[in-house]
Amino acid sequence: MESLLAFHHIGIACHDISKSSQFFTLMGYEASPVTDDPIQHVRICFLEKEGAPRLELLEPLDEQSPVARTLATSGVTPYHICYEVTDITAAIAALRSQRFLLVSGPVPACAMGNKQVAFMFQKNTGLIELVEVPR
Ligand code: NI
């Protein structure tokens, strides 16, 4: 399992990327251009800083967005951890064997160069995103 998953980012639900990115840019993070992903119903901005975990701010594009539900129940909050995998089908099977359920995907993610992404949930761990980066 350990060799299968490499940390990629922490996803943070927010109401407004321009407001939520302010603190992090003050902290020295560099913000990517903002991208809309109509498949996931989210607007996305990545925040990167040398030596710090990569962050992803997600703002809902509409009420159907899963991020809108997270904001309604928890407000602005980290809500998923994303891991990079070389084979998303194999990673999904491995997480299924750890009692994770496939929530969505695999689908292409336009904010990540159309790489395949999937979301999986297990009640003792929470929400995990997988992004496939073939070697
Ligand atoms: Ni993510």
Determine the pLDDT at residue 1. Answer: 77
Residue 5 pLDDT class (50, 70, 90 cuts): very high
Separation of 129 CA from ligand 1 center, angstroms? 6
23-63: pLDDT as tens digits:
999 999 999 999 999 888 999 999 999 999 999 999 999 99
Q: How far is Cα 133 from Cα 88, in angstroms, rounded to an integer?
A: 9
Separation of 97 CA from ligand 1 center, angstroms? 22
CA torsion 80-86-91-94 (nearest 10°) is -130
**CA 132 to each of CA 52, 62, 113: distance values in angstroms, whole numbers, following the listed order:** 22, 26, 11
